[in-house]
Amino acid sequence: LTTISFSRNNLTGEIPPELGYLTNLEELRLYDNELSGEIPTELGNLTNLTELNIGQNNLSGALPQSLTGLTKLEKFFFGGEGGLCAPLDAAFQAWLQGIAEISGSNCSE
């Protein structure tokens, strides 16, 4: 299993941390649903991801530091309604700058 695409499926609730066990995933698309809560740190285990699209949901909080382990990520979309944001620390921001296509907001200071 290398791709999961559950976009536009009216999914509700939180992103299950168990997705972090699917370490062969290369693309995870959960955009345009009604997902809420914070991003589980376990998503940082998906080190083969090249695309992560969790935008257009009601997710909230700061992105977990564990995501900086996703060194193959080329596309990352996390913008939406819930206030999900990228931490301002230098290491996280440096990681974001290495991603070719990105959409989302930084956390306020």
This prediction's pTM: 0.95
pLDDT at 20 over 70: yes
pLDDT at 109 over 70: no
Q: What are phi and psi of 16, to 5 degrees?
A: -70, 130
Query: Cβ-count burial of 98 within 10 angstroms (0-12 exposed, 13-18 middle, 19+ buried)?
Result: exposed
Q: What is the mean pLDDT of residues 18-40?
A: 98
Write the pLDDT tens digit of every residue in 42-70.
999 999 999 999 999 999 999 999 999 99
The CB-side HSE value for 53 (13 A sphere, CA atoms) comes to 16
C-alpha Rg value of the chain to the nearest Å? 13
How high is the pLDDT of residue 108?
86
Give me the amino acid identity at 28: L
Write the pLDDT tens digit of every residue in 90-108.
999 999 999 999 999 999 8
- The domain 3-106 having CATH identifier 3.90.380.10: the answer here is no
Give me the amino acid identity at 24: N
Average pLDDT over the chain reads 96
Write the pLDDT tens digit of every residue in 79-93.
987 789 999 999 999
E strands present in the chain: 3-5, 12-13, 27-29, 34-37, 51-53, 58-59, 75-77, 85-86, 101-103, 105-106
